[in-house]
Amino acid sequence: MVAISTWKLSLQLMLLQLLIVNYNEANYLCQNLQLQNCSRIECTPAGFSFECPRMSSLNNHWQALMKISVNTNNGATLQCTSHDVNYEWLNGISIGYVNFLDIQSCPMPKMSLSTFLANMNITGMKKIRIDHGLGNLTIDDQYFHKIDNITHLLLPSNFLTELPSQLFQNMRDLTNLDLHGNNITLQNGELAGLISLKKLDIGENNIHQLLPGTFKDLKKLEFLTLWGNKISNLTKDMFIGLENISSLDFTANEIVYISPDTFMEMENLKILSLVKNNLTSLPEKIFSATKKLELVKLQNNHKLSQIPRRLFADLPQLNEIILSRCNLSTVPEDMFWNTSKLAKVDISRNSLVTLPELLFRDTEYLKELDISNNKIASIHGSPFASLKNLQILHLEKNKLTSINEELLQGPHELQSLYLNNNNIEDIHHYAFQTMTKLQILVMSHNNITFNNFIRYDSSPISNCPNLQELDLSHNNIRTMFSDWMWILRKLHSLNLSYNNFTYISAQDLQFLSPRILVNLQYNKIATLNLSFLELMNSQTAIEEASTDMLVVDLTGNELECNCKIYDVLRYQEKRMKPITYNRLRMIINTLSCRGPPPLAGYPISKLNSLTFKCEWQHSNKCPTQCQCFHWIAAKHLEVNCTGASLTQIPQELLNPTFPDKLLMDLYLDNNSLHSLSLNTSLNKTNVTTLSVSHNYISWIEDGALPKNLKELKLDHNNMTRMNSSLLEFLTNRTNVSLHSNPWNCDCKALDLLGFLQNSFRQVKNLYNITCKEGNPIALLIAEEICPVDQTIIIVASSITALLGILGGLLAALYFRYQNEVKVWLYAHNMCLWFVTEEELDKDKIYDAFISYSHQDEDFVATKLLPELENGTPPYKICIHYRDWIVGEFITTQITRSVDESKRTVVILSKNFIKSEWGRLEFRAAHKQALSEKRARVIVVVYGDLGPIDELDSELRSYLSTNTYVKWGDPWFWDKLRYALPHQRRPALKKSRGPDKLELINSSAIIKSSTPPAEVAINPLEVINNLSNKRCKILNELNGFTNNGFANGACEISVKSSDCE
């Protein structure tokens, strides 16, 4: 390593020294350059330049006619801007050593070239190029005399017509001669003396024929270019002496005939170009002697209609054949046989209608094959079966209608396949099954639908996991296949433009390829549904700085601007989650609306998601006289029935389930409504805005307005009065319009006055609310509306006093005879809330019956039951697996368990909601509670129930009007015991008299966590008890005891003689 570093350092020092020497030499030449007639322009380390003639200070219009630039490394350039130059300006200039002299657009002096160079002291030159300089000069044999050390002589575009026979006689070192772009006819002897010439370019001249022996002295010639001439025939004697020729170029001639032995002596020929001639046929075995041939170009021979058998057979070195733009309708099957190194074949732009099955039998190393732009409608067999190494196949612009299973089974290494611009409709499911290395597949401009693959959700391309570019544009495809998204993970370009896609959803954009452009331009996409876009991206981990990006181009589509466009608007406004934009970029800024008609042609970029309203997707539920628009951002449904000649509210709007969880803005303006009654009540609807302006409404019944109402527009109607309950309902509403009505301003309008004065902020056009006489109501005072009558005040006061006295008397009587009152009420089935619950429950066996789903049995058996039966106080519980009778009907046992239990405890869980038996048990208990008007049902919420709106209607109604106990509440057991039946504690009062005995039982009122019942006891049951079992107790207490009841419902006196 040290030796190598030392060597590199030494080389760098040598190069630096050489640069310094060159710089010093260039600087020395530049500084000592004698310029008598020219002006020095600049001196640089690489050379110098000057212009002639010398600039005169007296000449304001001076222009340089000649510029000389000298580069010490490459050579010198002489440029002229005019043919009116004087070479005497260069006398005395010493340029020195240059390798290459380039003379551009300068008239050459009449002196020989060697004299011209000597005048400028140019030495060491090997290459000279004269471009557009010899046109007006007659060159003699001595023009290139004494420059025999030249190796490259380039004389293009000098309008030369002839060459002196001895012009190149002494140029024995010349290896490269360029004479193209002149008008030479090329006669015998004009190239004599060029014994070292290897490359000759005489293209674009006026050569009509090549005389025999023209090149006989050019024994070392390897490259001969004769393109752009007018040669019509090629024969063997034209090329005598060209034993070492390796490249022949006859492009753009007029060749119509080639003799069979033309190339017989060219054993070293490697490249042959016969492009753009007039060949109609080729001789058989024309290439039989050219075993080293590597490239043959025959394209643009438009009259060439047939190829002889084995034309390119047995050529072991042949690598490339170009036969495009001919007129071939067939090719022989053995054309390439035994030519094993063939790597590229181009027979495009012909008139082929089929391919011989064994055409490529021996070309297993072929890498690129172009058969495009022919008339092939079908290919029989497997002509590509032997092409194991084929990488590029062009079959575009033919008339293929299908791709069968066998056609492409051979090329396992294929990387690029072009099938565009055919008539392909049918593709076999296994057509591409061996193309695991395919990277580019172009099938645009066909009739492909892939309809027969929709049921599999997988296209035939699923067998190409390495595909990077897929072009299916200009077809009839309408479905996005899953394999494009999930299997083709290296895909970076998917072109589906100009197809028949009408619907694209977020699910169609789940591409797993890290970076991909999906081109959906100019389809028929009317719906772009992005409703699940945020959800999908939130489930995928995407780094914010990630370079992964899905780009979807939707340019040229027109969307239906219905409700499904809402999420598209949110996307373009960047109102979705930021993670969405880290992964997906959609080009939608140029999209416009296809419909509905009011929005047709309107740019989507000008729509706002926050204010966007669309026709409700359930339009079949919308009343026929109305229009329903969904305001998605606000979760509102706008029902517009304006001017529909309605005399009553459409029945569809009165359905409580309309419009299915959406708040509703209802516009009924300009109709013929006369009232809002309970018969057409909106009370149970979700209406928040009700506009009934410009109708004939004169009356609104209590309860007719929606309970969720926030805005009421009642202006321009026939309202004269509004009762207090309705005004109270409107008190907390956001916006109320009552103007332009003929209000009666009398004593009954005092409530209206109070409402207007207290709610002035939410009442619109307050001072336009006037009496029918025209006075603004809000500016009036109570005395102006309702003058006070003193007589009425006196009468009212008297009545109030009398009612007070009467009430006091009734209260005193009740206090004295309250027990008798309660017994009478109970006997007549009236005011049962006075009667204690113990009397109703005395025959019930159980304290509670537990109703639950069998899937929650573990909770009941291990948690609930032990605590209730063994706790303080203990309860007697009915449980089905223990207390039900085997063999009896389940429905009968449910009814009996509910009837024999004081409470029914419902374990409400998701499992219970799904249980039919659970719901049956709940209904039985609920029915009993309703019939007895008692709180019999205790609901224990166990676990998460989900949305209450999705529960059974009875359960939902019960939960919305009653409280419940929730498992997990720190006060759970206290609340549950409080809701269960309470045990009574006995207590005694003093005896009132010698002939009566009153038994006092302490009356702990049983309160429930759920309303509405109080606890009551049937007094008749108490009497029966006193007549037997309890008489012993009564006799022991001085002979008489008062029997008291828990809630004071009534009092019963019993003598000791009534006891046995």
Neighbours of 27 (CB within 10 A): 14
Task: Report pLDDT digits (tens) over 512-566.
Answer: 998 999 999 999 999 999 988 888 766 554 444 345 789 999 999 999 999 889 9
Q: Report the C-alpha gap between 371 and 960 in whole angstroms.
A: 78
Q: Report the C-alpha gap between 402 and 511 in whole angstroms.
A: 28
Angle, in degrees to the nearest 10, between helices 818-827 and 790-816: 90
Distance of CA 703 to the CA centre of its chain: 49
pTM (2 d.p.): 0.65
- Window from 788-802, 929-943, 1012-1026 with minimum mean pLDDT: 1012-1026
Q: Is 983 exposed, middle or buried (0-12, 13-18, 19+ CB in 10 A)?
A: exposed
Q: How confident is the model at residue 621 (pLDDT cuts 50, 70, 90)?
A: confident
Q: Which two tokens stand for residue 418?
A: 């072009």
Q: Report the C-alpha gap between 889 and 169 in whole angstroms.
A: 131
Name the more confident of 570 and 120.
Answer: 570
The residues, any chain, with a CB within 8 Å of residue 982's CB and separated by 6 or more, are: 1004, 1006, 1015
Q: Is 223 exposed, middle or buried (0-12, 13-18, 19+ CB in 10 A)?
A: middle
The residues, any chain, with a CB within 8 Å of residue 28's CB and separated by 6 or more, are: none
**In what helix (H) or strand (E) does residue 23 lie, and over which residues does it extend?**
helix 2-32
Question: What is the tally of helices (H) and strands (E) in the chain?
Answer: 22, 51
| Residue 802, CB-side half-sphere exposure with 13 Å CA sphere | 6
CA-nearest of 239, 292, 287 to 269 is 292
Unique residue bearing structure tokens 């959406």: 662
Instruction: Give yes or no for residue 958 having a pLDDT over 70.
Output: yes
Q: CA dist 67 to 79, 101, 636, Å?
A: 5, 13, 84
Instruction: Compute the average pLDDT of residues 202-207.
Output: 92
Instruction: Compute the average pLDDT of residues 656-678.
Output: 87
The pLDDT value recorded for residue 994 is: 36
CA-nearest of 67, 70, 68, 64 to 29 is 70
Mean pLDDT of the chain: 81
CA-nearest of 657, 668, 700 to 681 is 700
Q: How confident is the model at residue 986 (pLDDT cuts 50, 70, 90)?
A: very low
Q: With H, G, I as helix, E, B as strand and everything else as coil, classify residue 570.
A: helix
Q: Report the C-alpha gap between 744 and 721 in whole angstroms.
A: 6
- Window from 172-186, 196-210, 333-347, 961-975 with minimum mean pLDDT: 961-975
DSSP string, 276-287: S-------TTTT
| Residue 996, CB-side half-sphere exposure with 13 Å CA sphere | 13
Beta strands in 796-882 (DSSP E): 846-851, 877-878
**Beta-bridge partners for 44:** 47
CA-nearest of 681, 640, 637 to 661 is 637
512, 482 in Cβ contact below 8 A?
Answer: no
The pLDDT value recorded for residue 983 is: 62
Instruction: Give yes or no for residue 8 having a pLDDT over 60.
Output: no
Name the more confident of 764 and 658.
Answer: 764
Neighbours of 478 (CB within 10 A): 17
The CA-based angle 521-527-531, given to 5 degrees, is 115
Instruction: Compute the average pLDDT of residues 608-637.
Output: 88
720, 741 in Cβ contact below 8 A?
Answer: yes
Instruction: Compute the average pLDDT of residues 85-110.
Output: 81
DSSP string, 53-65: SPPPTT-TT----
> Which long-range contacts (C-beta less than 8 Å, at least 24 apart) are formed by 477-484?
477/448, 477/449, 477/450, 477/501, 478/449, 478/502, 479/450, 479/451, 479/454, 480/504, 480/508, 481/450, 481/453, 481/457, 482/457, 482/458, 483/458, 483/459, 484/459, 484/511
Phi, psi of 736 (to 5 degrees): -135, 130
Phi-psi region of 517 (alpha: psi -120 to 50; beta: other; left: phi over 0): beta
Instruction: Compute the average pLDDT of residues 722-751.
Output: 89
In sequence order, which ranges of 216-267 are alpha helices (DSSP H)?
A: none
* Pairing mode of beta strands 663-667, 636-640: parallel
Q: Report the C-alpha gap between 164 and 626 in whole angstroms.
A: 102
Instruction: Compute the average pLDDT of residues 395-416.
Output: 93
**In what helix (H) or strand (E) does residue 560 lie, and over which residues does it extend?**
strand 558-560
138, 162 in Cβ contact below 8 A?
Answer: no
Instruction: Give yes or no for residue 668 having a pLDDT over 80.
Output: yes
Q: How confident is the model at residue 849 (pLDDT cuts 50, 70, 90)?
A: confident
Phi, psi of 76 (to 5 degrees): -130, 150
Instruction: Compute the average pLDDT of residues 450-470.
Output: 90
Q: Report the C-alpha gap between 955 and 93 in whole angstroms.
A: 115
The residues, any chain, with a CB within 8 Å of residue 359's CB and separated by 6 or more, are: 331, 333, 335, 336, 383
Q: How confident is the model at residue 1002 (pLDDT cuts 50, 70, 90)?
A: very low
Name the more confident of 79 and 45.
Answer: 79
Q: How confident is the model at residue 661 (pLDDT cuts 50, 70, 90)?
A: confident
* Pairing mode of beta strands 344-346, 320-322: parallel
The pLDDT value recorded for residue 716 is: 95
Phi-psi region of 252 (alpha: psi -120 to 50; beta: other; left: phi over 0): left
The pLDDT value recorded for residue 233 is: 95
Instruction: Give yes or no for residue 987 having a pLDDT over 50.
Output: no
Q: With H, G, I as helix, E, B as strand and everything else as coil, classify residue 434.
A: coil
Q: Which two tokens stand for residue 339?
A: 């030519």
CA-nearest of 1005, 984, 977, 985 to 873 is 977
Q: Which two tokens stand for residue 281?
A: 């046929």
Instruction: Compute the average pLDDT of residues 637-644.
Output: 93
Q: Which two tokens stand for residue 718?
A: 């026939």
Task: Report pLDDT digits (tens) over 677-700.
Answer: 887 778 778 889 999 999 999 999
The residues, any chain, with a CB within 8 Å of residue 714's CB and separated by 6 or more, are: 692, 693, 697, 736, 737, 738, 741
Domains and CATH numbers, the chain: 25-125 (no CATH), 508-606 (no CATH), 613-785 (3.80.10.10), 837-979 (3.40.50.10140)
Q: Which two tokens stand for residue 229?
A: 């001439």
